[in-house]
């Protein structure tokens, strides 16, 4: 990715970054920060973006035509935030949750690889680890999801791990438990490999080159 600019600020000038779920609360801030850093941001979301100036592909990413439109022209990186995030909804609609959180993630992986992406940030959840066994969740926790939501996000993590290994790529997982941590990672995009080395889960950086 683009190196840090003089003074320590990260420059993403000209990088093409797709943000799935970019119309949501966290996504809007991610889009704003990436754009301010010079990235050429495109949003893929079911909902419209409040800023009419944002490059938006509106639709369901599990639909091939929608995903193709989002990746048209190629991408350098993807921030994958789109998901069914409600535990209750995942219990009431497990098939929809699987379709959105697993099937769409698999399609995005292949599409992004083919479109030239070199880095991927995947927002997951502490729900992949199930009940807490201590005062804090650590990087050594095993996967033990208790809900369809947690299970599908764990599947997303495993899909990414397997996918990058199949393609002989290095991958690093990052634990993000708050939007502040996500913002910190995105603000240091060029320094992600060093930053995530000790924080494996809930977002996945997957360099393909």
Residue 76 backbone phi and psi in degrees, to 5: -95, -30
Active site residue 163: no
Catalytic residue among 149, 171, 176, 186: 149
Give the Å distances, CA to CA, from 191 to 4, 8, 176. 8, 10, 16
Strand 77-80 with 16-20, pairing: parallel
65 vs 68, 124, 169, CA distance in Å? Answer: 5, 25, 27
- H or E stretch covering 80: strand 77-80
Distance CA 117, CA 112 (A): 5
- Show which residues are catalytic: 149
């Amino acid at each position: 990715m683009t190196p840090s600019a003089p003074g320590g600020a990260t420059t993403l000038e000209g990088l093409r970054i797709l943000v799935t779920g970019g119309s949501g609360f966290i996504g809007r801030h991610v889009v704003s920060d990436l754009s301010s850093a010079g990235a050429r941001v495109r949003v893929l979301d079911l909902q419209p973006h409040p800023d009419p100036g944002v490059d938006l592909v509106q639709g369901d990413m599990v639909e091939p035509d929608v995903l193709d439109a989002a990746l048209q022209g190629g991408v350098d990186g993807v921030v994958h935030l789109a998901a069914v995030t409600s535990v209750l909804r995942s219990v009431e609609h497990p098939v929809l949750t699987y379709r959105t959180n697993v099937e769409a993630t698999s399609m995005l992986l292949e599409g992004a690889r083919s479109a030239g992406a070199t880095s991927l940030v995947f927002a997951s959840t502490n729900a992949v680890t199930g009940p807490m066994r201590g005062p804090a969740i650590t990087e050594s926790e095993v996967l033990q999801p208790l809900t369809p939501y947690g299970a599908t996000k764990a599947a997303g993590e495993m899909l990414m791990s397997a996918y990058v290994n199949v393609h002989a790529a290095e991958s690093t997982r990052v634990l993000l438990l708050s939007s502040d941590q996500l913002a910190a990672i995105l603000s240091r995009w060029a320094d992600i490999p060093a930053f995530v080395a000790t924080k494996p889960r809930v977002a996945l950086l997957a360099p393909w080159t």
